[in-house]
Structure 1
Amino acid sequence: MTYKETLDYLFNALPMFQRVGATAFKKDLSNTIQLCTHLGNPERKFQAVHVAGTNGKGSTSHAICAVLMEAGYNVGLYTSPHLKSFTERIKVNGQEISEDDVVNFVSINQDFLEKVKPSFFEMTVGMAFWYFAKKGVDIAVVEVGMGGRFDSTNVIHPKLCVITNIGWDHMQFLGNTLTQIAGEKGGIIKQGVPVVISQKQDEIKEVFINLAKEKSAPIFFAEEEYEVKPSTNFSTDLRNYTIRKGAFSYSVSMDLLGVYQGRNLPGILKSCEVLRTLGYNIKDSHIKSGLMQIGRLTGLKGRWQVLAQSPLVVCDTGHNEDGIQLLMDQINNTSHEKLIMVLGMVNDKDVSKVMSLLPKTAYYFFCQANIPRALEAATLAEKAFEMGLKGEIEKDVNVAIEKAKKKAGPKDMIFIGGSTFVVAEIKDL
């Protein structure tokens, strides 16, 4: 098969949660275990950092990867979903897996895949671990897809676990309370493996303490150790932060411009500190240089990404209640006259909660990503109009963006988001 034929096979033959939703989700690790066994247990052939959470786990994973790369390690990175290309999911030292390797993996294992019928995500996890073992990575940063306890990535035994934030998302799978969701995310905590909790959330702190105690896992609440304050001085390329730890104070800069990245920083910094205690040679200079070039080193896209100036065009993959609230805070603190939003969502989110956070003074173009799981633009618009939002329907994401640009003045702001899959379709990303 060609690469295109291979992708068509994977997308069509194996259920893919990002495209079809609930039917692809399975609370069971048996398929992943079978696949890893078939592959010779590649997950045992490299060290790993395992990163879970509702918001921030992707940025945190890329940041830790960038620091480890600057420290001279051969670093694997597994993240999901991809934005433009399937190969974005699996990287070594910032380089995506080759199309030939994707074809080769499927060709070698096709009979097994057709027999066991793993989900698209289970297959991708197996491919990532196979590739990391093949490339002889020193360490891999592995982002959880959804939840933690039953996520396919949870077959690894990492050196460090990181949990970024717990919020309302995927409740139909993870539970209807933050305590239940935290219990699922905390399912990545392993026997004796240190765990860093990025944000201190009082209502669920005990969940993590109890899980760590059961596993005799050292636990660190990063926000209790690191105080992070964003600086008012930042360029168009970097955002500066003042870090205070005990009596010490210093500054770091990130090339990720979202103010919400300040919430991820304590966990990132504490993770680097714990990795040092585990024998990794990570110097302060590696942390500072890594954080300044996360995008360049790892290829991260779609996090408060500025696409154009005059009018200011920004996209972001934030898509749940907590993520949208943080984005609205940053939009409100970004200089602009009129706000125009190109908005699309998926059909299994709580649309009303997100809509309640959106400004009624903005003008909206309601669109939909080209995936089965997308919420119909007309349905989204109907709900929005009921809540007093104003705008029009344009199903095609890029046509909606062009219409927004024609409507905008030079001092206006266009925001594109509501779903990872809307951002993924942006032509100029």
Structure 2
Amino acid sequence: MTQGSDVILSRLMSLHPKVIDLVLDRVHHLLAALGHPERRIPPVIHVAGTNGKGSTVAMLRAGLEGAGEVVHIYTSPHLARFHERIRVAGDLIAEDDLARLLEECERANGEAPITFFEITTCAAFLAFSRVPADWTLLEVGLGGRLDATNVIDPALTIITPVSMDHEAFLGNTIEAIAGEKAGIIKPGTPCIVGPQEERALEVIEYRAARMGAPLQVHGQHWHVTEENGRLVFEDEGGLMDLPLPRLIGAHQAQNAGMVIAALRALKRPGAADAAMTRAVWPARMQRLKTGPLVQAAGRAELWLDGGHNPAAGLALAEVLDRLPPKPLHLICGMLNTKDATGYMTPLARHAASFQGVSIPGEANTLSAADTVAAAARAGIAATTADSVASAIATITATDPDARILICGSLYLAGSILRENG
């Protein structure tokens, strides 16, 4: 009898002593044992980068599905449930199907060590190989060159903006990190490149030249601007006048530009309108409207954002600049692997108050006290809170019409979405 996926997923966590171990040998071995499902999936659009991957995938999905095409999607991490990582023909993978696929991968792997992300990526490939679709949207988990997803022959690759993050695994310079991201570029395969620092772009261009991969680079081959409440995209094919992205934030215009460039490269420019107007991506400056936390907040606005590195902090600050003026109260929890002060510094000018929390159930959480210390280094006066709920109560006791932003981590965002139903 097949066990539930939660039981199997818990067991798979123990198959390797490390959570992250960037090599591809184990993935190649398991995929061979499974009969190479990665060779039988629909054409792949492979997305790497530091910031904007998820939003880019969400807009691509919205555009292609709006044009009537069927799409498989693989993203990570999940927010509330693991099933969010795998969408088969547009729908969240069914519990019974996921459990059977995981057990099949577990049997094929035998006693060999393999990381959780590696074996679950193989399960996603297996799922995608068995259901017809027009496209597969594949988001890199970490880096690119040695990421478990980098075993496919894509139809198109996309590199979103590269910045400092995951230095322990990818290197401590922007050039090193860009080199890892550029590892998804394949011989002769077109690559869409989002806005980059010059040092990162040079690395990406070098890799593309070696691979004979044609590039479409922001600022060189395509441009995107906001004009009079519209999004204007221009490349050698001409101008496109589109609605602004549904996803909130000035940075989403750049993500939208990558999506439009990709759709034009795929000969599907007619999908661009739906990409702008139909995309949904939780925990990216998401206004919470229902649930226990919203009820507890009363008249206060409650927002949620999962950004977690300095570039995400800067993008978030720019989003806040555009909201109607109102005192902002931050509730922040972060992982101890992140540059917390770098993330918080752009937010300092917006913070009417700041409460640090630890992330429930997360071994690598930064403690509430350490979060407060990082805020102090960013110039923010802060206090600790026992929980998000208690932080909300503290804020609304003195400012019942407050604007409250819960931020700092996708893991915290996932905890909130589970708690809030």
Q: Fold conserved (TM > 0.5)? A: yes
Partner of 1:20: none
CA-based RMSD of the aligned residues comes to 2.1
Partner of 1:9: 11
Corresponding letter in the other structure for 1:5 = V
Superposed displacement of residue 249, structure 1: 4.7
Partner of 1:160: 156
Q: 1:3 and 1:176, CA in 2 relative to 1: closer, same or farther beyond 3 A?
A: closer
Contact between 1:50 and 1:160, CA under 8 Å: does it hold in 2?
yes
Describe the SS at the equivalent of 1:336.
coil
CA distance in structure 2 between the aligned counterparts of 1:92 and 1:406, rounded to whole angstroms: 45
1:251 paired with 2:232, answer no
CA distance in structure 2 between the aligned counterparts of 1:171 and 1:121, rounded to whole angstroms: 19
CA distance in structure 2 between the aligned counterparts of 1:358 and 1:294, rounded to whole angstroms: 26
Superposed displacement of residue 267, structure 1: 1.0
1:83 paired with 2:79, answer yes
CA distance in structure 2 between the aligned counterparts of 1:98 and 1:190, rounded to whole angstroms: 32
Choose from 302, 323, 340 the match for 2:283.
302
Corresponding letter in the other structure for 2:273 = K
Choose from 410, 418, 421 the match for 2:411.
421
Moved more, 102-111 or 323-332: 102-111
Choose from 385, 394, 409 the match for 1:394.
385
Partner of 1:293: 278
Superposed displacement of residue 53, structure 1: 0.3
CA distance in structure 2 between the aligned counterparts of 1:102 and 1:403, rounded to whole angstroms: 42
Q: 1:8 and 1:327, CA in 2 relative to 1: closer, same or farther beyond 3 A?
A: same
1:350-389, aligned counterparts within 5 Å?
350-359=339-348, 361-369=351-359, 370-385=361-376, 387-389=378-380
Superposed displacement of residue 82, structure 1: 0.2
Contact between 2:328 and 2:405, CA under 8 Å: does it hold in 1?
yes
Moved more, 115-124 or 377-386: 377-386
1:162-311, aligned counterparts within 5 Å?
162-230=158-226, 233=229, 240-245=230-235, 248-276=239-267, 282-284=268-270, 286-295=271-280, 300-308=281-289, 310-311=299-300
CA distance in structure 2 between the aligned counterparts of 1:105 and 1:29, rounded to whole angstroms: 20
Superposed displacement of residue 163, structure 1: 0.2
CA distance in structure 2 between the aligned counterparts of 1:268 and 1:37, rounded to whole angstroms: 33
Choose from 297, 316, 336 the match for 2:305.
316
Q: 1:249 and 1:216, CA in 2 relative to 1: closer, same or farther beyond 3 A?
A: closer
Partner of 1:142: 138
TM-score, normalised with respect to structure 1: 0.88
CA distance in structure 1 between the aligned counterparts of 2:36 and 2:131, rounded to whole angstroms: 15
Describe the SS at the equivalent of 1:155.
coil
Moved more, 58-67 or 243-252: 243-252
Describe the SS at the equivalent of 2:198.
coil
1:110-129, aligned counterparts within 5 Å?
110-129=106-125
Partner of 2:19: 24
CA distance in structure 1 between the aligned counterparts of 2:221 and 2:150, rounded to whole angstroms: 28
Partner of 1:346: 335
Superposed displacement of residue 107, structure 1: 2.5
Partner of 1:19: none
TM-score, normalised with respect to structure 2: 0.90
Contact between 1:227 and 1:243, CA under 8 Å: does it hold in 2?
yes
Describe the SS at the equivalent of 1:24.
coil
CA distance in structure 2 between the aligned counterparts of 1:267 and 1:283, rounded to whole angstroms: 12
Superposed displacement of residue 49, structure 1: 0.5
Choose from 6, 27, 33 the match for 2:28.
33
CA distance in structure 1 between the aligned counterparts of 2:110 and 2:398, rounded to whole angstroms: 50
Contact between 2:246 and 2:277, CA under 8 Å: does it hold in 1?
yes
CA distance in structure 2 between the aligned counterparts of 1:386 and 1:267, rounded to whole angstroms: 35
Describe the SS at the equivalent of 2:104.
helix
CA distance in structure 1 between the aligned counterparts of 2:212 and 2:300, rounded to whole angstroms: 53
Superposed displacement of residue 336, structure 1: 3.2
CA distance in structure 2 between the aligned counterparts of 1:15 and 1:419, rounded to whole angstroms: 25
Contact between 1:253 and 1:288, CA under 8 Å: does it hold in 2?
no
Contact between 1:200 and 1:224, CA under 8 Å: does it hold in 2?
no
Contact between 1:364 and 1:392, CA under 8 Å: does it hold in 2?
yes
Describe the SS at the equivalent of 1:362.
strand
Q: Runs of 5+ in structure 2 lacking a partner?
A: none
Corresponding letter in the other structure for 2:288 = L
Q: Deviations over 1:163-208 (max 9, x none)?
A: 0111010111111111111111000011111111021432222212
Choose from 56, 63, 87 the match for 2:59.
63
CA distance in structure 2 between the aligned counterparts of 1:82 and 1:372, rounded to whole angstroms: 17
Contact between 1:147 and 1:181, CA under 8 Å: does it hold in 2?
yes
Aligned residues: 405
CA distance in structure 2 between the aligned counterparts of 1:332 and 1:60, rounded to whole angstroms: 22
Q: Deviations over 1:191-241 (max 9, x none)?
A: 1111110214322222122111111111110333433233564xxxxxx42
Q: Deviations over 1:59-88 (max 9, x none)?
A: 111211221222222210000000011000
Q: 1:274 and 1:121, CA in 2 relative to 1: closer, same or farther beyond 3 A?
A: same
